[in-house]
A and B are shown apart, each in its own frame.
Chain A
Amino acid sequence: MQTHLPLQGGGLKEGVLSFALIQASHTHRRVTAGKNGPVVSVFDFPKDEKLVSKRKRNLKTAMTWRSPLALVRDALRGQRAREKELRNLVSNLPYEGLEKRKQPNRFFPSNAIKTTKYTPLFFIPMNLFEQFHRLANIYFVGLAILNFIPVVNAFQPEVALIPICVILFLTALKDAWEDFRRYQSDRKLNNTPCYIYSRKEKQFLERRWKDVRVGDFVRVVCNEIVPADLLLLHTADPKGVCHIETSNLDGETNLKQRRVVSGLCISIPDFEPESFNSIVVCEKPNNNLNHFKCYVEKPDKEKVGAGIESLLLRGCTVRNTDHAVGFVVYAGHETKSMLNNGGPRYKRSKLERKLNIDVFFCVILLFTMCFIGALGHFVWLLARPGVPPYLVPDTNGHLDSPSLASFYMFFTMIILLQILIPISLYVSIELVKIGQIFFITNDSDLYDEETDSRMQCKALNITEDLGQIEYIFSDKTGTLTENKMVFRRCSIMGAEYPHKENAIRLAVLDEPESEEEVIFDQSPRPRQMSWSLDAEDANPVGKPPRGSQRRSSVAVHTQTDVAFSSPLETEVIPDKRLLQQISRAESCSSRKTDPYLDFFLALAICNTVVVSMATAQRRRTSVSPRSSQISGSVDTLSNLVKKAGNLLSSCQLTSKRNRSLSEEAVIQCVKMEKTVDTNRHQTCSLHPPSQGARPSAASDDLCYEAESPDEAALVHAARAYGFTLLARSPDSVTVRLPSGEDLEFELLDTLTFDSNRKRMSVLVRHPITRELVLYTKGADYAIMELLGTPYAEHLRGGQKNIAADTQYHLDCYAKDGLRTLCISKKVVTDKVYESWLVDRKKALAAIDNREELLMNTAVQLETNLTLLGATGIEDRLQESVPDTIVALREAGIHVWVLTGDKPETAVNIGYACRLLEEEDLVINMSSKNKVTCTSILDCTLEEVRRHMADPRNVDTTPNISLVIDGETLTMALSPDLQNRFVDLAKRCRSVLCCRVTPLQKSSVVKVVREKLKVMTLAVGDGANDVNMIQAADVGIGISGQEGMQAVMASDFALSRFKHLKKLLLVHGHWCYTRLANMIIYFFYKNVAYVNLLFWYQFFCGFTGTTMIDYWLMIFFNLFFTSAPPIMFGIMDKDVSAEMLLGVPELYRTGQGKGEYNFLTFWISILDAFYQSLVCFFIPYLAYQDSDIDIFTFGTPLNTISLFTILLHLSIEIKSWTIVHWIIMLGSVALYFIVTLAYSAICVTCNPPSNPYWIFQSQMADPMFYLICIISTVVALLPRYTFHVLRNSVAPSPLIQAKHLDRMDPTTRDQWIQEWRSFRGGRPVRRSKLDTPSSSTLEAPDYYPEPLSVSDAMGDDLTLNAVTVNFQRPVQT
């Protein structure tokens, strides 16, 4: 036993002093979900002593007898320990091998997890309890119980239990299966291997995840998943850094740095867990992934703080770190990732809400019918003059009074007519939705090759909402665009560098793959050749563009996992002019302060990019779930070979045509390769590439892990100019200059980005000048207002000029659709820094409003900046975005784009993605104060109304679009202006909101959704879209570059924006029409069938008699007529996918009220009444005055109903596949087989019906067939005729489309064209997004200033309703 017992914690001390018979309780304690809190199970408190003594015998270790009271005390103590605000944890090692009750950390749950809901033993009661939370089940059980009351029962009590039992059984089966799946995955996780330190063995031993306990030391190696929340104590990295990837938790794929708790353990090569004798004091577990409060108290009472930066979270993956050792602070259900695990989403679709109203109508109908029944019985009883022999008195020979009998009859009727409330409908809807989701997720058109991901349905019950969308709110970046940032242009010191060659490269990249092949293999265009050569000369790192080009088309798999490093972004072809400037600056005497160098240094330094090695990345992809191992490595290999070849050929050319730069660059290139190469060998030797390929591969070895793609693009741009970011550690940044010199900057502080400041800064000490330099980059308006004294006046004109020139360039960039950033610098004197540092430290140490204080210190320092320049980054539109938007708009959907970008950028993207059209009337709203905002709204609204009311404009009215900025939007959304804004917005075809915050996004969605009562869909890809996605009726997440938060919050997850088109237009439409028609049919079916019983009541004195055997009635609903509607709901296809995509207008049928509305519901109910009347009265009249007996009479009724109900469905079914035929014919066959068999077997069973031989005798009677035929025909004739006439006289668009569908493809396309032009729709131009040519900068006037309606409204009024169209120049 260890002599040192660190027992400072009060709770712990008590725990040790009163070891009771805890062993017993612990061995029997189940580890239940953390949320359940303390577990005081029956085993903890054995009442009978026998049990205790028996257990004592079993447990050899139990030495002393402990009273049950002690057990309770211990359990309570455990609860107290778990609920305390601060926990004291000590190492388990000194207690290793001891029995459980001596373990100091025994109160905390182990790492085994259990997410199952049920246990095998208690499955039935627990599942029943769960199921009775549903109102429908209670209704059913209530009815069954009612049936047990003799005075009101309608059927045999036992038989009445069948339906509810079947439903409960099926649901239980489903739940059990789901729970079993969870159990399996739990087991898999719990048995994942990991390494725990053992004192006995003096090393880390392989154990299972479930063996990990709080207080253990766990070692994790590279690419391993962290088993529990670990306080990082040691890593293989000498600086104590460990990289983790949190994509399992929040989906972010960039690496995050975690640091060893400072000053705690000596990072000697081998960490000795046994020497750890401190106490870890940490807070109670919570679900905040970004906060963790903890300190470590050393034996000498020194306290060392630690936060989230030292915590490895369960579920993260260790990257780029050979191994790390951590101390388990939270395990199992107490880990942050488990606490974050929410349940599945449950949303209620619009259709279901409507459905519930109609179910309510059904209840009213049921009660009305029951009331009629009760009243009828009352009247019938009164009409008997005496006591007829058929009236059955009760046991005492006494008859109930008519009023009492009719009161009882009311309940009997409820039992009799119960299926009027379509309980089975809910089960059927669930089944249908499962089928629909199966088809959606299995659509290969929604499959994304690049990420190997299918469409995911997260919310299982709102598929039909996809067919009713009226408003789409879309994020721009990452949703409409690729969010793959490409460096396009920059402006330094007021001079513009357009990077023409780069633009051409991008334009070529835009071409389809096949063309690319042609261009690069045959190289017919000399111009392309020259730029590629230039690039080769200029690029000191020696990157071969051609090889990379190939890679873009081949090596898709390997690239996907590397954050923001597709060749598109990584490769920048430097501008020649700028290169010259740099080489001039390099050679110049003032090179340490040259603005050009500063600019690129800022690009390289001022970020939070983490550098990692490509080899590590490759390792990562090999285990990554998203890429295939084999094809990945094959691709990599082939790339390497190809690249090598390309490099060779280009080098030859280079030597021939080496004309631009000094030879120095080439030498550097070689030198660089060498160093990097050796680097790589040291770090990792997993995939030694072939010797020939290595030199070219070396250049790829640096990988940048950036939080945002913009940062990565800038770092890559800097690298293209020779400023290579080599390494970043918490307190230093290393940059290689074009001269090959490595500069290591001491990183003093990083003022991180926040949305208020809209900028970030790094404070470094320049290694040569020893100056303190602050580099700031941020949004143009956030930087411009902070500019101070002119910089380097001796070089150029005043700062003012530079600022003005830069601003002009920035405006041009914005109009070109580029994202702009300003780069600035400031030299901070040591004195200023020291005084600032005091504030900063105060802020850092603060507990209350720390964030605010930190921001203040940042603002304090970011003043008097010197402008260096600006950058323009392109975010390219995703594939077929314009197409998709046009199609969605033609489908009658209003598309809103909400973006944080500048209005100019946004408008430009708007045109590019055809959200705005050239002939559109674009209203531009922006105002600074509320008064003007109000008047603008009023004016615009008035103008729009007038415009629309004008009869001259009826045919020529252009579509109206609205552009509004964030500030104005806030005012417009204020309660008093809301209505006017919404009124205006609903007249606009598209709305573009710029510079909006995440909160505004969601409030826009909420306002539109609530005010206009429309179905809304929000689509986004980033964390900033989560609010919006959750606010909308349907939230769609794009799994793009920015992690998975959006996807996790969403109902459906797509990989590309273009998939939205098929998802909505085809699947949405199908799901909606299928489900709507299925539900209508279901109501019809139940009413039609139940009414047969109701009509019979008029002929049996309203006594609740059934003329159909009860078993057959149950079978009728359960087997004979259940599969066809479900199949109908899953598989019916009113119009083909091609038509739906070709004619988006067809989508409109589902919008607004859609196909399932008040009218269609009641028409189907009326039809059901009519059909049931026919089905009842034709046999009635045919058998009138005959000797037919009751169940023989019921047989044709049942058969007629079956045929009517099934044939009714076949009128509704739009397309018959083999599945339809099998199920329909199968249902009929099943009916005959089951009924015949039942009638043949049941001799004395199921009184009173005794269906023995009835069906057989009926089937031998020709009258049976004659009656069946005519009844079915008469019942269906009206509906059939109605369908035929409607289809012929006034065909709906869907019917017309179906007609076109039947033609052969060529004539069909012709007809579609003709039809569309006839309907006034312009033919869809399948235009590709034109890449703006660089010449636009010279002609920046295509975006005209908006014309003011009235200047008298004040200076800050910059709005207006513009009647002159904004013309976008036709680009070639």
Chain B
Amino acid sequence: MLADSVETMVKDEQESSNRPDNTAFTQQRLPAWQPMLSAGIVIPGFVLIGLAFIGIGVALFVTSQGIQVLEIDYTGVEQKSPCFRCANSNEKNCVCNLEFSIDRLLKGPVFFYYGLTNYFQNYRRYGVSKDDNQLSGDLDYFQSPSDTCSPYEYDNNVPIVPCGSIANSMFNDTFKLYQTVNGVKKQVPLDGKGIAWWSDYNIKYRNPSVTPLKNAFNGTVKPIFWSKPAYELDPTDSTNNGFINQDFLVWMRRAALPDFRKLYRRITHEDYKEGLPAGNYSLEISYNYPVLSFDGRKKVVFSNVSWMGGKNEFLGIAYLVIGSLCVFMSIVMLIVYAKFKFPEED
């Protein structure tokens, strides 16, 4: 109290007046735009948005219609399914052949996906279960992986590389595609390059700079579920081996939803540049990955893509519906405006 008064006294000697500054800001008189949300004003907006949306919707819908998709379930739940035998978990190194036919040209470039359903890659503790430092090639973490990898951290006190649940559960079915031309099986070359994210392949995941790569893995073991160690994922190509193996990278990028597909290969070979021609095909599946334990399904998907990605009719329809709704609303607003217009809106 006293302090205040002394203070004000001192202050007042400096500036004689207490009068507030007369600025537009302090007097709350800044020039302002006052939008008025009333029927008359929003009609043009609604019409414009409606028309634009219908336009976008049509474009999306047409594009989506142009995308061809071939989706085949090979889980082998049903008896007549070619992979029924392999679905039995006791079978090791089971191979089954999936015959299918394409009745018209599947325009290229064709993308070859594998799909899983009811697979929760987005399970929280699953997602945490990896060591990013290890995967970026830091050798320190080869010997002592992060706790987050637990329980796939050590196997009998030997560190696991790559550690963690994600790597451990890597999808290990392999496919070979044959075109049956005049009863002769002709293998369709599959392109395994460029299926992972560029940033993953080039920056995020690195192999340790040790040659040969195998030496870097001394004193470590492969993940429990794996049949071969990481440095043998693609022995033929050193740029596709170890942590920068593209299949591995694709798997490590966890799917957002429990029903997902992941890119397996692209069909870009000279012969199939135009796409997969109509005809009979055979898919040789090396069936390894068990899914029945969690009621999952496996499938392969052949699809071409457009600028909007894969086939999805939803967005086009949504745009059309909302666009129409906006146009409809503008008519409603017109009626409302006619009945309840404000005096100054004449």
Interface residues of A (CB under 8 A from B): 115, 154, 182, 185-186, 188-189, 192, 225, 248-249, 314-315, 337-338, 340-341, 383-397, 412, 438-439, 441-444, 447, 449, 452-454, 623, 625-626, 628-631, 1048, 1099-1101, 1103-1105, 1107, 1131, 1133, 1137, 1178, 1180-1190, 1192-1194, 1211, 1214-1220, 1243-1244, 1247-1248, 1250, 1252-1253, 1257, 1261-1263, 1266-1267, 1270, 1273-1274, 1277, 1280-1281, 1283-1285, 1287-1289, 1291, 1298-1299, 1301-1303, 1311
Contacts and interface: CB of A to CB of B under 8 A. Distances in A.
Given A394-B151, A1186-B309, A1284 B39 contact: yes
Contacts of A1289: 336, 340
B314 A1181 contact: yes
A1288 B3 contact: no
B198 to A, nearest CB: 8
B36 A1299 contact: yes
Contacts of A1218: 30-31
B19 A1183 contact: no
Nearest to B198: A1253
Contacts of A248: 1-2, 5
A1287 B340 CA distance: 10
Interface in B27-78: 27-28, 30-40, 42, 49, 53, 56, 60
B253 to A, nearest CB: 4
B124 A1217 contact: no
A1131 B24 CA distance: 12
A623 B309 CA distance: 80
B122 A1190 contact: yes
A708 to B, nearest CB: 24
A1185 B259 contact: yes
B20 A442 contact: yes
B178 interface: no
B3 A189 contact: yes
Nearest to B10: A188
23 contacts: A315-B2, A384-B294, A390-B294, A442-B27, A454-B18, A625-B12, A630-B16, A1048-B1, A1099-B256, A1099-B257, A1181-B315, A1185-B312, A1190-B127, A1218-B31, A1219-B30, A1243-B136, A1244-B132, A1248-B128, A1250-B204, A1253-B197, A1270-B322, A1288-B342, A1299-B342
Interface in B296-325: 296, 307-310, 312, 314-315, 318-319, 322, 325
Interface size class of B (residues with CB under 8 A): 35 or more
A628 B16 CA distance: 5
B310 to A, nearest CB: 5
B256 A1287 contact: no
A1190 B113 contact: no
B6 A631 contact: no
B9 interface: yes
B194 interface: no
B28 A1131 contact: yes
Contact of B130 (A387, A454, A1248): A1248
Nearest to A628: B16
A388 B293 contact: yes
Interface of B: 1-10, 12-13, 16-22, 26-28, 30-40, 42, 49, 53, 56, 60, 113, 115, 119-130, 132-133, 136, 148, 150-151, 165, 168-169, 197, 199, 203-204, 225, 253-263, 290, 292-296, 307-310, 312, 314-315, 318-319, 322, 325-326, 329, 333, 336-337, 340-344
Q: Which 4 pairs of residues, A with B, have the shortest CB-CB distance?
A: A386-B293, A388-B294, A1193-B256, A628-B16
A245 B259 CA distance: 84
B6 A192 contact: yes
Contact of A1298 (B7, B28, B34): B34
B34 A1302 contact: yes
A1217 B31 contact: yes
Contacts of A396: 151
A1325 B340 CA distance: 32
Contacts of B314: 1181-1182, 1184
Given A115-B3, A385-B293, 17 more contacts: A182-B3, A192-B6, A249-B2, A389-B290, A392-B123, A447-B18, A447-B20, A1181-B314, A1181-B315, A1184-B314, A1188-B260, A1219-B30, A1247-B132, A1270-B318, A1288-B337, A1289-B340, A1301-B34
A1180 to B, nearest CB: 7
Contacts of B12: 625-626, 628
Nearest to B345: A1299
A1190 B255 contact: yes
A1103 B295 CA distance: 18
A444 B204 contact: no
A1184 B10 contact: no
Contacts of A185: 3-4, 6-7
Nearest to A342: B1
Which one of B132, B261, B296 has the highest number of Cβ atoms from chain A below 10 Å of its Cβ?
B132
B258 A188 contact: no
B312 A1184 contact: yes
Given A1266-B56, A1273-B49, A444 B27 contact: yes
Contacts of A389: 165, 168-169, 225, 290, 294
Contacts of B4: 185
A1215 B263 contact: no
B4 to A, nearest CB: 7
Nearest to B49: A1273
Contacts of B295: 383-385
Given A154-B124, A395-B150, A631-B16, A188 B312 contact: no
Contact of A390 (B26, B40, B123, B336): B123
Given A1216-B33, A1287-B38, A1289-B340, A1270 B53 contact: yes
Given A385-B295, A1185-B259, A1190-B255, A1100 B151 contact: no
Contacts of A1187: 113, 255, 260-263, 310
Contacts of B5: 248, 315, 625
B34 A1215 contact: yes
A282 to B, nearest CB: 21
B132 A1190 contact: no
Contacts of A1217: 30-33
A93 B228 CA distance: 97
A1302 B225 contact: no
A1178 B255 CA distance: 18
B21 A1243 contact: no
B296 A1103 contact: no
A454 B20 contact: yes
Contacts of A1270: 53, 315, 318-319, 322
Contacts of A1274: 318, 322
B330 to A, nearest CB: 11
Given A1133-B28, A1217-B32, A189 B38 contact: no
A452 B38 contact: no
Contacts of B343: 1299, 1311
A443 B120 contact: no
A115 B3 CA distance: 10
A1075 to B, nearest CB: 15
A386 B290 CA distance: 11
A1244 B204 contact: yes
B122 A388 contact: no
Given A314-B2, A1189-B255, A1190-B122, A1247 B340 contact: no
A54 B95 CA distance: 89
Contact of A1101 (B7, B123, B292): B123
A389 B165 CA distance: 8
A1214 B34 contact: yes
Contacts of B151: 392-397
Which one of A1244, A1253, A1261, A1280 has the highest number of Cβ atoms from chain B below 10 Å of its Cβ?
A1244
Contacts of B203: 1243, 1252-1253
Contact of A444 (B20, B60, B260, B308): B20
B3 A1101 contact: no
A188 B7 contact: yes
